[in-house]
Structure 1
Amino acid sequence: MAESILTARTCPNMVKDYDPNDLKFIDDNEVPLHIVGWLVSAIFTFQASIITLYLIKQHWKYYYEPSQQRYIVRLLLIVPIYTIFNWLSYFFFHGSVYIDTFRDAYQAYAITSFFNLLLQCLGENDETRMRKLSNIKSTRSPAPFCCIYFNPSEHKTLLKRLRIGILQYVLILYATTFIALILQATGFYCQESYSIYFPQIYLITVQTISGFIANICMNMLFTPVQEILANDYPWFLRNICVNTALFLVTYQGHALGFLVFLGYIQDTKYWTAHNISTGIQAILVSIELAIISLIQMKAFRYKDYRPDPRKSTPILESMKDSLIPVDLYHDYIYAIRYIYNRALKRPTTSDIWPNDRPTVEPTPPKPTFMDRLTNLFRSQESAPIQPQRPPTPVYKIKIANMELFSWKKKTSNKANDNV
Structure 2
Amino acid sequence: MVCPSWRHWLGPIVSAIYLICLLVVLPLGVLELIHRQKQAQVVTWFIAMIFMFLTLPISLWDIIHHIVNYTQPHLQRHIIRILWMVPIYSLDSWLALRFSSVSIYINTCRECYEAFVIYSFMAYLLSYLGEKFPHLESTLESRPTPQHLPPFCCCPPWMMGRVLLSRCKLGVLQYTLVRLVTTAIALVCELYNVYDEGNFAFNNAWSYIVVINNASQIIAMYCLILFYRTLREELAPLHPIGKFLCVKMVVFVSFWQAAFIAMLVKLHVISDKNTWGWSSVGAVAKGLQDFIICGEMAIAAVAHHLSFPYGPFLRQPGEVTEGCPDEHATQNEQSYLFSFLAMFDVRDVRVDMMEQARSLRQTIFNRRPNNLVPAPSPEEVEKAALLGGNRIGSEPSSPTASEGGHYHSLCQTPTTPEPNDQVPGMLDQCLPDYPS
TM-score by length of 1: 0.71
The residue that corresponds to 2:410 in the other structure is none
Q: 1:325 aligns with which of 326, 346, 352?
A: 346
Tell me the distance in 1 between the aligned counterparts of 2:160 and 2:198.
47
Question: Are positions 1:101 and 2:108 aligned together?
Answer: yes
Alpha-carbon distance in structure 2 between the residues aligned to 1:342 and 1:219: 19
Contact 1:63 1:318 (C-alpha < 8 Å) held by counterparts:
no
| TM-aligned CA deviation for residue 59 of structure 1 | 1.0
2:348 aligned partner, one-letter code: D
Q: Which has the higher strand share?
A: 1
Using the TM superposition, name which of 41-50 and 79-88 deviates more: 41-50
Residue type at the aligned position of 1:366: V
Are the aligned partners of 1:89 and 1:96 in contact in 2 as well (CA < 8 Å)? yes
Please list, as runs of the form range in 1=range in 2, the aligned pairs for 1:42-121 lying within 5 A after superposition. 42-121=49-128
**Which residue is 1:288 aligned to?**
296
Call closer, same or farther: CA 1:177–1:216 in 2, change over 3 Å.
same
Quote the offset at 1:178 in angstroms.
0.5
Cα distance change on mapping 1:353 and 1:54 into 2, 3 Å: farther
Using a 3 Å threshold, how does the CA distance of structure 1 residues 244 and 192 change in structure 2: closer, same or farther?
closer
Contact 2:90/2:297 (CA < 8 Å) preserved in 1? yes
Q: Which amino acid aligns with 2:217?
A: G
Distance in 2 between residues matched to 1:336 and 1:150, nearest whole Å: 21
Query: How far, CA to CA, are the matches of 2:51 and 2:316 in structure 1?
Result: 35
Contact 1:118 1:222 (8 Å CA) reproduced: no
Matched residue SS, 2:194: coil
2:39 matched to 1:32?
yes
Within 5 Å, give how 1:239-318 maps onto structure 2: 239-267=244-272, 268-269=274-275, 270-271=277-278, 272-309=280-317, 311=319, 317=338
Distance 1:238 1:135, change over 3 A: farther
Secondary structure of residue in 2 paired with 1:67: helix
What is the identity percentage for the equivalent residue pairs of Structure 1 and Structure 2?
Answer: 26
Q: Give the aligned partner of residue 390 of structure 1.
A: none
Give the gaps of 5 or more residues in structure 2: 1-30, 321-332, 376-391, 398-418, 428-433
Change in Cα spacing, 1:38 to 1:135, as seen in structure 2 (3 Å) is farther
Return the alpha-carbon distance in structure 1 between the equivalents of residues 308 and 365 of structure 2.
42
**Equivalent of residue 334 in structure 1, options 343, 347, 355:** 355
Aligned-residue offset at 1:233: 2.7
Distance 1:47 1:169 in 2: 31
Q: How big is each residue's C-alpha offset from its partner over 1:332-391, in whole Å with a ceiling of 9 and x where there is no partner?
A: 11111112556799854446799xx932899995359xx9xxxxxxx9xx99xxxxxxxx
Higher mean Cα deviation, 240-249 or 206-215? Answer: 240-249
Structure (1 or 2) with the larger CA radius of gyration: 1
Cα separation, 2, equivalents of 1:173 and 1:289: 21
Residue 229 of structure 1: aligned partner: 235
Alignment correspondent of 2:183: 177
* Shift, 1:53, TM fit: 1.5
Aligned with 1:164 (options 146, 166, 170):
170
* Structure 1 Cα separation of the partners of residues 157 and 134 of structure 2: 17
Amino acid at match of 2:262: G
Task: State the SS of the aligned residue for 1:189.
Answer: coil
In 2, Cα distance between the equivalents of 1:134 and 1:345?
A: 13
Aligned to 1:216: 222
Change (3 A) 1:58 1:222: same
Measure the CA separation in 2 of the matches of 1:217 and 1:69: 23
Shift of 1:223: 2.9
2:250 paired with 1:193: no
Quote the residue 2:423 is aligned against: 366
Alignment partner of 1:204 is 2:261? no
- Residues 257-308 of structure 1, C-alpha deviations (whole Å, 9 max, x = no match): 2221222212325222222222222222122221121122221111211232
Unaligned runs of 5+ in 1: 1-20, 372-378, 384-419
Per-residue CA distance 1:101-137 (angstroms, 9 max, x = gap): 2210110011000011111122249963334545765
1:123 is paired with a residue of what secondary structure? helix
Q: Report if aligned partners of 2:75, 2:128 keep a CA contact under 8 Å in 1.
A: yes
Q: Name the amino acid aligned to 1:53.
A: L
Shift in Å at residue 22 of structure 1? 8.8
Name whichever of 328-337 and 234-243 sits farther off.
234-243
Give, in angstroms, the shift of residue 326 of structure 1.
Answer: 2.1
Cα distance in 1 for residues equivalent to 2:339 and 2:363? 37
Instruction: Find the aligned partners of 1:183 and 1:283 in 2 and give their Cα distance.
Output: 25
